[in-house]
Structure 1
């Protein structure tokens, strides 16, 4: 029984191995069309529950940045139809979903002081989509659940005492030791993809660092990094700074090609 379960997990894992845009090995068990359907359904649900900003200036500004970024995506993403919506929400947030959906909160427009800073956030969110992080997270969740079920079955077959307490501990260990670092890894990867994307589109890469400095000034209590799905602002700024030289080269190439967005 144990061998059969283990073989099933290994087979599932190997069948879903792919490579991210940064060269990282990924486990993705779900077909892309299914993830797109999930993204479309989620976006429709958000639009039904959250007020949409109809301010023409805001929408034109956000779409201008989105169009510049989308034009630099790999062809299968650049050629698809994207929907960009500005939501009335005071939180400094944005998101992108599989299926070509981008949402930007009005609160972010107060923290991102110019097109370069806003492009950093939107590039980051689109980076999650082209790296297929949603698929990876859903797949990881499925594998973790299967692994915990296997552990429970093995302990049950061997009459292990205190099985419930052990299972609870395994659940916490999986969350802190695997799921959260996994999510932080996604955030870091999306930061780098977004930095390169904004630079290729003609936005100033330094805007990404400036944006996170603005975010840090917003304050608010944050959990310790090892208990958070996001890296700390200081770590994000440092990693972005480490990649600034190559991003500036991409920006200069974009300028030479005449890519100079003027989104206002």
Structure 2
């Protein structure tokens, strides 16, 4: 089996290839809702060729997307160029325990995939923190069910808002400042964003744990969360492969591999 896994967020889309044993290739592209299946195929074919692979060798596909208008084109990519019907998270795909929230249909595909990946790897009750366009805090029960959580603005979104709304504030990169108290505009902004998000994480994790009332393990995933490694004790594990692990497991549960 050669599986193409596509994980599409609001900002970036990850394409990864699994050969039945390991993930052998990964690429990211900017998410553009209007990108056609043919455009995806040209881009992907070139990258596959650079790794000694071909698009014709891919014989399975799973898609997780939080951009509904893109799903049509990603589905056509699989149908036209892989000659397979893709599994699309949310389309009657078996995930495991049902989401225990008021409106299960509203749960983002990315959050459900992360819940599967986290439960597969870590025992007990969990909090999964994933920071992209939004920063999400997802509660996963010991039986694997998605119990709900919190959505906050992502760190890059906050930086963009500061820059665009305040004429005197520049666009800056995210990095850990040397001091909490900034001495110039840039260090002020860096401290506010970096330590502000640390405080957001620590405060919300503490409140979730207090409300849940049982021990919980906290997992951080996504490229932005990794910036906070070593800066807080509130995150127990940093796991950049959580989403891919969840996609692979969902594929297994919905094909002969999981039979």
Report the TM-score, using the length of structure 1 for normalisation: 0.33
| Larger helix proportion of the pair | 1
Q: Relative to total residues, which structure has the larger strand share, 1 or 2? A: 2
Larger RCO, structures 1/2 (Cα 8 Å, 6+ apart):
1
